[in-house]
Structures are given as C-alpha cells and as structure tokens.
Amino acid sequence: MTHPEPSLSASGYRPQPLLVQEDSCYGVERVRERGFSFAPQVHREERVKVPMRDVVCPVCGKSSQIPAAALSAQCVHCRAHFETTPYVLRSGTRHRILRTLGNVVIPEDAELSHLDITCSDLVISGKVSGRFCAARRLELRGRARVTGELSADSLSVPSGASVTVTPSVMSQNVELRGELRGRLIAKRQVHVYSSGRLLGDCRAEKLLLDPGAVHEGFLLK
C-alpha cells in the first residue's frame, strides 16, 4: 500500500527568496531579493545647507559670505583675519579697542571713555567717548551721550529717545523719531518724523520734515 507523500507546507518547509550575489553572472551591484535589477544603484548624499551671511572685509572692503554662526573668518580676497564676535560693553570692561564684524551694544548704565570701536551694528544707550564706526547701522537710544568721532552707514534715533552727540555725527541716511542734539552730517537723506526733533546744524543732500517735526539750527551747504 502506497502512502501519499506529505505536502511541503505540512512538513514545515517554507520557500526562501532567491538571492543573487554581487559576483553572479547577472552583474547586479548588490544582493537583491525576489528578482533582478540591471540598473546601477545611485546613492544620493543629502547635503546640509549651512546658513550664510554677507560680510565686508574691514581691510580690503570687499564682500564675501561666511557661515552665520562663525565667530571669526578669513577674507577670501586679501586673506585678512577678522572676528565676528558680538559684544556687550559695560562699565569697567577691558575691551577698549574692538575690530569686529559682529554687533556691539553699550547699555544705558554704562559709562566708558577712550573707546575705539569698529563693528557692524552699534547700539549706544549709555555715556561714552572715543571713536565709533558702524559699517551698517547705528542706533542711539534712551539718554545716550556720545563725545568724539561717530560715523555709520545709517543712523536712527527711536521715538522717546533724547540723545546728545559732540561735536557731530556723520552718516549716509538718518531717521529721527526722537530728539537729537548736535550737528548732523548726512551724505544722502535726513528724515525727521512727526515725533522727531533735530536741535543743531544739519548738512544733507535732502532734508525731509514731516508735519510736527522740529529742526532748530542752520541748514549747511
């Protein structure tokens, strides 16, 4: 008497996928399950985009891009080394001479003298003296008192501020919403808003006075 052969599934047999090795005659690049692929496999590398920012070299004056989080860099044009560290200068600070493409803040309670600062953006709220040069923006806040050389690409005095500069401040463009006492020299435009007061002589290519704005002084040529 013949007995029927047991089925493959009943005997515990499970079909396995067909594995094709790299060195097989089919020439595929790696092991494949259940079939072949003759197309080459392309591995794409995901590149992380690093945030960048534009800077102007303080030595050669040419612009370039550096990582936004960098604290120092080297100019790609003249190879000069410069730092981009931000600073907050308080009374008693040891930083009297600064050359940075970062921002500098001098708070309201600071009283500093004999400073020599070149930076990107400069905010002054305290009483200071020395030489100050902001490559981009200078903002005079609160009851700031500045004595010495003061220059910037753009100058702003926010509403509610009452600041004094001696002898003068030089800028390309000026926006006054608060009060500025001192001589103002602008190579382009001075805009005094309705809440603004300019108490001093002014030299500018264009002077705009909104209704309610005040200018007491001479308009120099």
- 197 versus 31: the higher-pLDDT residue is 197
Residue 142 Cα to chain centre, angstroms: 24
Q: What is the pLDDT of residue 6?
A: 56
Domain ranges for the chain:
50-84, 87-220
> How sure is the predictor about 207, in pLDDT bands with cuts at 50, 70 and 90?
very high
Query: Can you name the residues that pair with 155 across neighbouring β-strands?
Result: 138, 174
Q: How far apart are CA 91 and CA 85, in angstroms?
A: 19
> How sure is the predictor about 95, in pLDDT bands with cuts at 50, 70 and 90?
confident
Helix (H) or strand (E) holding 164: strand 162-176
The whole-number average pLDDT for the span 36-42 is: 55
Residue 166, token pair as written in the block: 């001696």
- 181: closest CA among 162, 195, 194? 162
Mean pLDDT of the chain: 84
Q: What is the pLDDT of residue 32?
A: 47
> How sure is the predictor about 69, in pLDDT bands with cuts at 50, 70 and 90?
confident
The full 3-state SS of 50-75, as one line of letters, equals: CCEEEEECCCCCCEEEEECCCCEEEC
Q: What is the pLDDT of residue 121?
A: 93
- 178: closest CA among 144, 132, 147, 152? 144
User: For the chain, what's the residue count?
Assistant: 221
Are 151 and 135 a contacting pair, CB within 8 Å? no
User: pLDDT tens, 133-186?
Assistant: 998 999 999 999 999 999 999 999 999 999 999 999 999 999 999 999 999 999
- 162 versus 9: the higher-pLDDT residue is 162
Res. 220: pLDDT tops 60: yes
Q: Is the pTM of this model over 0.75?
A: no
Res. 193: pLDDT tops 80: yes
CA-to-CA separations, 171 to 48, 111, 153, 187, in angstroms, rounded:
39, 24, 5, 7
